[in-house]
Amino acid sequence: MLNLVLFGPPGAGKGTQSAFLVQEYSLIHLSTGDLLRAEIAAGTPLGMEAKQLMDQGLLVPDSVVIGMIRNKLEQNTQAKGFIFDGFPRTVEQANALDALLSEKQTAISAMLALVVSEEELVKRLLNRGKDSGRSDDQDESIIRKRITEYNQKTAPLAEFYANQGKYIPIEGIGAISEITSALKTAISKL
């Protein structure tokens, strides 16, 4: 199986690049951000709890997102592989993912990390906020809070996967198609 973690700060291009990789490699796309926004749109209690945190730029509890990923893995037992977009975001989530995949006799193949400067991230997200309707993209202070959460809780995962020999940094600034090509080149070497 090909199991990829697409990693990077908010606005790095994870969602954008996942769309191309999913098609190219016939993988199942699992985005915890999309799953949470679907819960919000459906007005579920989980969605209401998540919205409160997301609107402040904070991560939602590990137990919530781990449960969502577990369900999706169980619903897709025949998959050729998965692309994890926006998950894991904490060391606890990364350990849970390793355990869930090892139950299925598989593992993460690589972490592809999109590297983008903070000023570029803020610019992209404010730009998306103009027409996406995403409340967490509207306000620069919330965007900066998301980046701080990332630096404190998520960035250490680069070392977590580097220790497993699976961390691959990719330049995330440039034309979207050039970044897709760089990702494909990295995947072809796995």
Q: Where do contacts with ligand B4P occur on this chain (CB under 6 A)?
A: 8, 10-16, 32-33, 36, 53-54, 59-60, 65, 86-87, 89, 93, 124, 128, 136, 146, 176, 179
Minimum separation from the CB atom of position 72 to ligand B4P (A): 12
Nearer to ligand B4P, 78 or 133 (CB): 133
Minimum separation from the CB atom of position 98 to ligand B4P (A): 15
What is the phi/psi pair of residue 163, to 5°? -65, -25
Distance of alpha carbon 84 from alpha carbon 157, whole angstroms: 14
Minimum separation from the CB atom of position 43 to ligand B4P (A): 17
Distance of alpha carbon 55 from alpha carbon 68, whole angstroms: 20
Nearer to ligand B4P, 144 or 166 (CB): 144
For ligand B4P, the nearest residue by Cβ is 33
* Side-chain-side CA neighbours of residue 171 (13 Å): 8
Minimum separation from the CB atom of position 96 to ligand B4P (A): 10
**Residue 33: closest CA among 123, 154, 117:** 154
Distances in whole angstroms, Cα of residue 7 to Cα of each of 18, 59, 168? 10, 15, 10
